[in-house]
């Protein structure tokens, strides 16, 4: 056994995992939106060159840099024309909005399969991920340094795609969860969300700023942390400790 190795949130393993996780996560997230819209009859994203797996069509340089180092960021939003889904505009927009987060969950699940295979083959004998205040510290015990490094990368890819999955489901504009809420809630409630779109955007910005300035008051992490912890355990077969 190689021994216990502590991976800090700015270690090479985690930085590489962050970069790969966000590059893959943002690209496939936006591609999934474009693909779902195309399948439902909206050609807007297709004509704008967004129905592609080329990261350059989806990545916003400033957005991914902030995601890497500040903890929040963005990709180029896929244009969607709900009128193309007539007479089922709400249903179509809901499906398109769900496609992105579900793709991130699928990426995390694929990473979880690889981590489980590493554990079954004996490459990693015992690993634990510790999620702390929006960062990630991982402890790995593998057969050698390469497998520890690989686990660090894969574990971080899983974490960041789970974050993208959960974060985008929040019912706050302009996130996918807001559009899903508008699409699935009864008219009296969905209309409330539409009327207060600007306010929910302000709430999201305030939550992000408070979490960045005062991590001890990170409300978003308090909401997303426990389900993130549970999903990581379920997908990777490991036991992260939320704190």
Q: What is the pLDDT of residue 103?
A: 98
What does pLDDT average to over the chain? 86
Q: What is the pLDDT of residue 124?
A: 67
3-state secondary structure of 77: coil
**Residue carrying structure tokens 């929910």:** 200
What pTM value is reported for the model? 0.88
- Spatial contact of 172 and 178, defined as CB atoms under 8 Å apart: yes
- Rounded Cα gap, residues 103 and 230, in angstroms: 18
CA 234 to the chain's CA centroid: 16
Residues 116-134: what's their mean pLDDT?
63
Q: What is the pLDDT of residue 141?
A: 47
CA 31 to the chain's CA centroid: 14
Residues 211-225: what's their mean pLDDT?
86
| Percent of the chain surpassing pLDDT 90 | 63
Higher pLDDT, 10 or 112: 112
Model confidence band, residue 13 (pLDDT cutoffs 50, 70, 90): confident
Token reading at 210: 């408070």
| Percent of the chain surpassing pLDDT 70 | 85
Model confidence band, residue 192 (pLDDT cutoffs 50, 70, 90): very high
Residue 13 annotated in active site: no
Q: What is the pLDDT of residue 70?
A: 78
Model confidence band, residue 1 (pLDDT cutoffs 50, 70, 90): very low
Q: Considering only 125-134, 144-153, 193-202, 220-229, which range has the smallest mean pLDDT?
A: 125-134
- Rounded Cα gap, residues 15 and 64, in angstroms: 13
User: Which residue among 13, 30, 188, 197 is the active-site one?
Assistant: 30
132 has pLDDT over 50 = no
Domain residues of the chain, as ranges?
5-238
Q: Considering only 3-7, 75-79, 174-178, which range has the smallest mean pLDDT?
A: 3-7
- Spatial contact of 160 and 152, defined as CB atoms under 8 Å apart: no
Q: What is the pLDDT of residue 162?
A: 96
138-147 tens-digit pLDDT: 444 444 678 7
What strands lie across the sheet with 124-132, from one edge to the other?
5-7, 135-142, 124-132, 241-242
């Amino acid at each position: 056994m190689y021994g216990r190795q502590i991976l800090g949130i700015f270690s090479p393993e985690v930085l590489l995992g962050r970069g790969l996780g966000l590059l893959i996560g943002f690209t496939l997230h936006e591609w999934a939106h474009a693909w779902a819209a195309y399948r439902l009859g909206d050609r807007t994203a297709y004509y704008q060159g967004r129905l592609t797996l080329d990261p350059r069509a989806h990545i916003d340089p400033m957005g991914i840099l902030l995601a890497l180092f500040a903890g929040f960021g963005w990709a180029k939003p896929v244009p969607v024309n709900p009128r193309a889904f007539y007479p089922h505009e709400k249903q179509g927009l809901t499906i398109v909005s769900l496609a992105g987060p579900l793709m991130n969950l699928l990426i995390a699940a694929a990473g979880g399969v690889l981590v489980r295979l590493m554990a079954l083959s004996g490459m990693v004998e015992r690993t634990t991920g510790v999620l702390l205040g929006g960062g990630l510290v991982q402890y790995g015990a593998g057969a050698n340094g390469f497998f520890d490094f690989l686990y660090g990368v894969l574990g971080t890819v899983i974490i960041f795609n789970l974050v993208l999955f959960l974060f985008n489901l929040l019912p706050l504009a302009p996130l996918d969860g807001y559009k899903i809420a508008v699409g699935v809630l009864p008219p009296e409630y969905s209309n409330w969300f539409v009327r207060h779109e600007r306010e929910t955007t302000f709430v999201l910005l305030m939550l992000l700023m408070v979490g960045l300035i005062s991590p001890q008051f990170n409300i978003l992490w308090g909401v997303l942390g426990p389900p993130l912890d549970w999903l990581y355990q379920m997908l990777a077969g490991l036991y992260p400790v939320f704190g």
